[in-house]
Amino acid sequence: MFSADIITLFPDLFPGPLGASVLGRGMGDGLWTLRATNLRDFATDRHRTVDDTPSGGGAGMVLKPDILAKAIDTIAPESDPRPRILMSPRGKPLTQALAHELATGPGAVIVCGRFEGIDQRIIDSRNLQEISIGDYVLAGGEVAAMVLLEAIVRLIPGVLGALDSRDEESFENGLLEYPHYTRPQTFEGMDIPAVLTSGDHGKIAKWRHEQSLALTRSRRPDLLDKG
Ligand code: SAH
């Protein structure tokens, strides 16, 4: 079973959206587990300090390596086979392919940064794999961890109802998805494209593929270059 552990200063944010709808149901059905642990529980001084000023100067605070080490080693001792991940704007970009790779594994131990980030020595010593959700800077890793887990967990068999509804989705085949329509037949004077109500499944598949290609070519030509 996929089991996720989050190390965060804000455990109350979880499960948040991960507890809703199909992901929440999947958790209830025992298809995956989630545990959020407060980093502050591993602080040792009276003030439960977790951060300190950056060596070399500069603004902000840095999460301390000794406290993070205690948290990581308690939650995921060396024998734990799960990848140790740090949410980080410097990381490897999150893609559908990476979500698939992680979804077939035993789970993930995810560290959420705050402030300026975390001490480099804990990244090195605990072999943290840095993952980014995009080229922008958030205030903390929590929302990024939710994005990562949401992308992973919906791929776990049984979490989404219709298995094959996934295969045609954006990025699954290197293309953006075709447009969707549903009733009413006429909405504000616009009809559903006739091919979709023709009942000709061959024609429908061809039309959808052409739409996917055209959308990808105009919005994300980089995806076509990759394939
Ligand atoms: N000083 C850092 C940014 C710190 S933001 C830098 O310039 O790289 C604080 C925390 O938010 C980070 O430690 C990370 O855990 C999280 N975070 C911010 N942007 C993110 C992104 N694009 N993807 C994943 N995590 C992010």
**Are residue 204 and residue 99 in the same domain, yes or no?**
no
- What's this model's pTM, rounded to 2 decimal places? 0.96
Instruction: Check whether residue 198 and residue 149 sit in a common domain.
Output: no
The CATH number of whichever domain residue 107 belongs to comes to 3.40.1280.10
The per-residue pLDDT for range 121-147, each reduced to its tens digit, is 999 999 999 999 999 999 999 999 999
145 lines ligand 1 (CB under 6 A): no
Domain annotation covers residue 125: yes
Fill in the DSSP letter of residue 6.
Answer: E
Contact 207, 196 (CB under 8 A): yes
8 pocket-lining for ligand 1 (C-beta < 6 Å): no
First and final C-alpha spacing in the chain: 32
Check if 123 has its Cβ closer than 6 Å to any atom of ligand 1: no
The answer for 210, left when phi > 0, alpha when psi is -120 to 50, beta otherwise, is alpha
Average pLDDT, the chain: 96
State which residues form the domain around 97.
2-153
Sign for the CA dihedral angle at 99, 73, 130, 35 comes to positive
Please tell me the distance from the alpha carbon of residue 105 to that of residue 32, in angstroms, as a whole number.
12
pLDDT of residue 15: 98
- DSSP H or E stretch at residue 202: helix 201-219
The protein residue whose alpha carbon is closest to atom 18 in ligand 1 is: 138
- Number of domains within the chain: 2
Ordered mean pLDDT values, 10 residues apiece, the chain (227 residues): 98 98 97 98 97 98 98 97 98 98 98 98 98 98 98 97 72 95 98 98 98 98 88
Sign for the CA dihedral angle at 49, 53, 59, 62 comes to negative
In a domain, 57, yes or no: yes
Q: Which two tokens stand for residue 93?
A: 């970009």
Q: Please check whether residue 32 lies inside any domain of the structure.
A: yes
218 and 111 housed in the same domain = no
- Looking only at the bridges linking them, the beta strands covering 32-38 and 129-132 are unpaired
Based on the domain organization, do 124 and 47 belong to the same domain? yes
Cβ contact 147:6 at 8 Å: no
